[in-house]
Structure 1
């Protein structure tokens, strides 16, 4: 049996599948989901984490055997940073809102990170006095600058670059340059601006649609700009976004079982929110629509049970029968 090396796992970052959503597609419009759950640590954030760590190394901010990476996160970045940092020889400390799913926090601990929980909203906020996770991580990092390094996904250009040179070109190639509309939620802004910038360069007519949740939402990793300031990374290129579509909790969670039944996908709350946005957004004429499904649903058993989407038994059955579930590195 061939052993899997760190390089083997890291080489799996990116090049995720694009699958057609038969439940939405019709004679005029083809809808596709970019399944980022196929990254080795299970989400779109593997891309940003890998690029930010390599950038830190290249700039001399990270020293193996000495540096500790610390980062505030609502979930996926914490998993990705911990998993990838371990492979590259770094210790990690993660600051996470207590409302993040129990499965997410358990995975981060299992991967070896020290976890600090803060009583904060599920989607981290940016701004003085409003985000305990970011404030705590900043405080810890600043107390020992010779040891701690915070990639700061909310302002780090490497986050943008991971999508500009990776995800964007993949989507262009996978659609044979036919993509007309692109949908994704916004957390740090790296995904929408990185992919959007690339697609706009290839075809200025591609419509970049930002998906925004309701206030006090339950979509892990997203932010509502009425209750949360725009991150620096997003502000640099926010003009790339052509339009916005809003989605509430009920709209997002209501499509989870529908997508499972019709497309055989077990999707996460954020993927469900993107699906709901694509479903409700009016498009005239022929089109090729791509949405980012940031991760799959396997981390959200407790969330779906709490929200009465499906019982734990129904979830287990769904997990067994779902298609396009990737093999993870943990």
Structure 2
């Protein structure tokens, strides 16, 4: 029997597949999804977590047997940090909004992290509990700086670097340098600025399009900048974004079944929101369009049932028949 080692798991961070979306492609315009669910802990945030922990060790901030990693997250970063930190021998505490899916919170707990939930009504203006989670994690970390380390994905350059040296070059190579348009949502800003900066250096004419959700949205991991502040990491390089397109909850959730029926992909709400933005954004002439599908739909059975996207039985049938589902490390 083959034994899976920690090195084997970590070697699977990155190099995710780029899959053509037949449902959107037409004539000489090709659409592709970068399937980040193929990272070992199931999302694009594996990249940021890996680079931030590695950076903390290299700078001597993290000490095995002593340091506790604490981080605010709406979900995927919590899973990635907990999974990867455990492999490297660190304890993890995660601060997460109540609004995050139950499946997400269960995965984080099962991976071994202590979980603190922040109430969505602490600050109704920003909604979704994200800013409250940041405040609580910062308070805990600052009270015991000798023990706690918060990577702070919202300002950590290692988050940007993971995409600048990883995801961006992958997309360039996988499209043979033909990419003309790139779409992604913005949470910390690491993904859009890291990939955007790299692609712009290779070809200044590549259009970087930011996808923004409605206020009081249900897109886990994203920010609406009218109700929530722009993260420091994003502010450093926000000029890399050429254009913005907005998407509301109904537009995002309405395409989940469409993408399954036409492309056999079971996608997450954020991936659905990117798809909806790609679908309605006007593109003329020959083009090679790439969107980040940050994770797949496996963590969202309860969310889809609550939003009447599909019943739990329908979800299980889709899960069984879906293509491009990766083997996860949890």
| TM above 0.5 | yes
Q: Secondary structure at the match of 1:314?
A: helix
Give the corresponding residue for 1:180. 180
**1:218 counterpart = 2:225:** no
Q: CA deviation at 1:132?
A: 1.6
Q: CA deviation at 1:24?
A: 0.3
CA distance in structure 2 between the aligned counterparts of 1:282 and 1:132, rounded to whole angstroms: 37
Q: CA deviation at 1:313?
A: 0.2
**1:81 counterpart = 2:81:** yes
Q: Secondary structure at the match of 1:141?
A: helix
Count residues in correspondence: 328
Give the corresponding residue for 1:265. 265
Q: Secondary structure at the match of 2:184?
A: strand
CA distance in structure 2 between the aligned counterparts of 1:131 and 1:161, rounded to whole angstroms: 24
**1:170 counterpart = 2:170:** yes
Q: Secondary structure at the match of 1:217?
A: coil
List alignment gaps of at least 5 residues for structure 1: none
Q: CA deviation at 1:120?
A: 2.8
**Per-residue Cα deviation, 1:202-226 (whole angstroms, up to 9, x for no partner):** 0000000000000000000000000
Q: CA deviation at 1:130?
A: 8.3
Give the TM-score, by structure 2 length: 0.97
List alignment gaps of at least 5 residues for structure 2: none
Give the TM-score, by structure 1 length: 0.97
Give the corresponding residue for 1:140. 140
CA distance in structure 2 between the aligned counterparts of 1:303 and 1:130, rounded to whole angstroms: 18
**Per-residue Cα deviation, 1:64-112 (whole angstroms, up to 9, x for no partner):** 0100000000000000000000000000000000010000000000000
CA distance in structure 2 between the aligned counterparts of 1:255 and 1:135, rounded to whole angstroms: 34
CA distance in structure 1 between the aligned counterparts of 2:125 and 2:95, rounded to whole angstroms: 13
CA distance in structure 1 between the aligned counterparts of 2:157 and 2:86, rounded to whole angstroms: 22
1:21–1:31: 8 Å Cα contact kept in structure 2?
A: yes
1:125–1:131: 8 Å Cα contact kept in structure 2?
A: no
Give the corresponding residue for 2:42. 42
Q: Secondary structure at the match of 1:23?
A: coil
CA distance in structure 2 between the aligned counterparts of 1:227 and 1:199, rounded to whole angstroms: 29
Give the corresponding residue for 1:298. 298
**Per-residue Cα deviation, 1:131-170 (whole angstroms, up to 9, x for no partner):** 2211110111011100000000000000000000000000
Structure 1 consecutive aligned stretches of length 4 or more whose deviation exceeds 2 Å: none
5 Å matches for 1:49-68?
Answer: 49-68=49-68
2:49–2:159: 8 Å Cα contact kept in structure 1?
A: yes
CA distance in structure 2 between the aligned counterparts of 1:10 and 1:120, rounded to whole angstroms: 34
